[in-house]
Structure 1
Amino acid sequence: MLLSYCTNVHPAEDLDGVLRQLREYAGPIRRAAGLGTLGVGLWLPAGLAARLAGSAEDRAVLRGVLEAEGLVLHTVNAFPYGGFHDDVVKHAVYQPTWAERSRLEYTLDCAEVLAALLPAGADGSISTVPLAWREPWTEGHDDAATAAFAELSAGLRSLRERTGRTVRVAVEPEPGCVLDTVSDVVGWLGARLDRGIDPEFVGLCVDACHLAVSFADPAEAVAGIDAAGLRIVKVQASAALHVDDPRDPAARAALERFVEPRYLHQVREDGPTGVLAADDLDAALADLPGAGPWRVHFHIPLHHVPAPPLQTTADVLRRTVAAVDRLPYADDVHLDVETYTWSVLPGAAVGLVDGVAAELEWARSHLLAPAPARTAP
């Protein structure tokens, strides 16, 4: 797998901001991690993606900074459209939806930029929102999204014919969305392959935090994708919070420290009658019975071991990568460390450069071992 880290952890809404990210964070992270080269999973806000897609000169500037800092680009995060570090993001991260043309245009802009910046002979990936938040979502919205993905497939095919570069879009299931789980994405795409959606260009992004929150078995999820004739394009290396006994006062007190206003932190409870859901951590603390373990959609640094009674789902990440690694195309899958929550972690005292460097070292040791470190060439 090709290892990178996602730059959506850094606020930036324009070209100057992205260049500053690369110079002040990504380059120093590469050096702190002791790597000759480092893959970056670039987050491009919509306005910047459109600018770069239309300007070879601006792309050349971006390429120059990537090269100067020893960075390589294989993957783009096109899930957040913009404003990902606003004071309150919450449900806005799912806008625009795949029923709106602006989402398609943004994704094609990202594909144009990525095709121009890929290393020679490499394929690219773009992760995207799982259609929308689950409501409001109508049959009309679904038809519009199906048509958009068919047009996306045609656009990516045309891009390959024009540039010789293959860029694939990876649908990323997330709790609470129209496509909540891996099986939801498999079912939705599989039912639409005869309506113009091409599995050569549209596949899945498996976010290991989201997978863990759904209480899915990683090996079964990966096998289901493969059996459906779909491709895992990207794995987001991420870990959720886990607590065995949510009724424990110490556990509740620890979880309360993770309640914050910027991002949604969906919670699932593996109860005796099935999996129960809450759309945010404060709602879970108020409403869920706590009769079974909880998993919380809060991306925890990969190397971090929280104080008991909290745990992380790092083992789910390990098992996810192990399952993907058995696929025949595993070497081409993009493995992107995506801990965007550093700014809202309670009590975080580690600097971002050292913190992300430590995550990358953990990923190399625990996910890519025993093979030698395999960063993007």
Structure 2
Amino acid sequence: MRLRHPGGTPLHLSYCTNVHAAEDLDGIIAQLDVYAVPIRARLGTDVLGLGLWLAAPVAAALAEDPALRARLRRELSVRGLEVVTLNGFPYRSFQDPVVKHAVYHPDWTTADRLSYTLDLALVLADLLPEDAARGSVSTLPLAWRDPWDTGMADQAARRLDRLAAGLADIESATGRVIRVGFEPEPGCVVETTSQAVARLAGVDGDRLGICLDLAHLACAWEEPAAALKELSRAGLPIVKVQMSAALETADPDALREYVEPRFLHQTRNPAGDAADDLDEAFERGLPGPWRVHYHVPLHVSPPAPLATTIPVMRAALAELAGGPRPLCDHFDVETYTWGVLPPALRPQNPEQLAAGIAAELDFARAALRDVGVMT
């Protein structure tokens, strides 16, 4: 959706399609009719933004064939859909029965991760609306934290230099600016704002920056205002914001029904105690309160004693979009866990999922309106 900051800057609000399983072009186009078109109708908006997820094989096919890119752009346009941002974190198979640590591979020590990200950037350059100022691609925060050593850090640094050079080449060839944002996440080489500053020091700040996932920020028990000031001082731009909410509770037993086999649900408490998954947190008896990396629908308030980190999201939005100028212009709702929610909360068919995503987007639009954004 097209929004506007009071200062005049256009803002883009979208939803991330990594909640859907399609990984080939025909499947991606089919899911537009099943989900995106009904969502746009429910919201009553002329144009719906998608934070498109393209698995590596389809990204490579699109990057190789301009005719395929033109086809995808047409299919989006005729449905009233647009794309200014891509999710380049999951490489492929993101809705498999078990994902867990596989989502962090290949990492930024590898040529495969570099190739995939540049493929996405080239595709996005052709998908961008003519009046969009820039495009964004989100990616993983270098790697999972273990193993990680000086040699791997040097390899990753070389890949990032080549990434920046590749993005410059795409801009020269197409006239479109594409930026890549590294997404701090619990358990990774870059988990916190301080680690982002330390690990990404010296990158090309015109093309590389941060994808700020607000559930991840909350799970690190960080204060949004302080985190954003630290990033600004380091010259790391906010390339993209993922509007997401994590679970929070002072009574961990209330979270037992959220244990599930597909995704990691890193768990943290304010003392800095950490577990890499929810079942591990129970096994170790991690002291509460907990915040859990479990993206939950923005508009849903779970029954007490559970809560969500929506207050952190609201505080972050006030900093990001409530000032005299926005700190970011791409806002993407990323709730990929609809299919693993406890059964009572889980959509039972595509119509229910589309309705839930539309309700999230409506909530996100209202949250941005609350900080002064014009909708």
What CA distance in whole angstroms lies between the structure 2 residues aligned with 1:329 and 1:149?
29
Paired residue type of 1:199 = G
Match of 2:260 in 1: 260
Paired residue type of 2:285 = L
Change (3 A) 1:373 1:34: farther
The answer for unaligned runs of 5 or more in structure 2 is 1-10
The answer for unaligned runs of 5 or more in structure 1 is 247-251
Alpha-carbon displacement from aligned partner over 1:200-239 (angstroms, at most 9, x marks no partner)? 0000001000000000001111111111111001110000
What CA distance in whole angstroms lies between the structure 2 residues aligned with 1:148 and 1:35?
40
CA-atom RMSD in angstroms: 1.4
| Aligned partners of 2:322 and 2:372 also within 8 Å | no
Query: Per the alignment, in what secondary structure is the counterpart of residue 269 of structure 2?
Result: strand
What CA distance in whole angstroms lies between the structure 2 residues aligned with 1:267 and 1:43?
26
Match of 1:226 in 2: 232
How far 1:72 moved relative to its partner?
0.8
How far 1:331 moved relative to its partner?
7.1
Change (3 A) 1:99 1:61: same
Kindly report which structure 2 residues correspond to 1:210-249, keeping only aligned pairs within 5 A, or say none: 210-246=216-252
2:321 to 325, 328, 331: 325
How far 1:117 moved relative to its partner?
0.8
Q: Does the alignment pair 1:202 with 2:213?
A: no
Alpha-carbon displacement from aligned partner over 1:76-125 (angstroms, at most 9, x marks no partner)? 00000000011100000000010010000000000000001101132000
Match of 1:94 in 2: 104
TM value normalised by structure 1: 0.92
Change (3 A) 1:303 1:334: same
What CA distance in whole angstroms lies between the structure 1 residues aligned with 2:373 and 2:309?
24
Query: Per the alignment, in what secondary structure is the counterpart of residue 345 of structure 2?
Result: coil
> For this pair of structures, how many residues does the alignment match?
359
| Aligned partners of 2:18 and 2:336 also within 8 Å | yes
What CA distance in whole angstroms lies between the structure 1 residues aligned with 2:39 and 2:316?
25
Alpha-carbon displacement from aligned partner over 1:268-318 (angstroms, at most 9, x marks no partner)? 012xxx31000000000111332x310000000000000000000011111
How far 1:138 moved relative to its partner?
1.8
| Aligned partners of 1:23 and 1:65 also within 8 Å | no
Match of 2:129 in 1: 119
Query: Per the alignment, in what secondary structure is the counterpart of residue 367 of structure 1?
Result: helix
What CA distance in whole angstroms lies between the structure 2 residues aligned with 1:373 and 1:299?
26
What CA distance in whole angstroms lies between the structure 2 residues aligned with 1:293 and 1:217?
17
| Aligned partners of 2:248 and 2:291 also within 8 Å | yes
Change (3 A) 1:373 1:37: farther
| Aligned partners of 1:2 and 1:331 also within 8 Å | no
Q: Does the alignment pair 1:26 with 2:32?
A: no
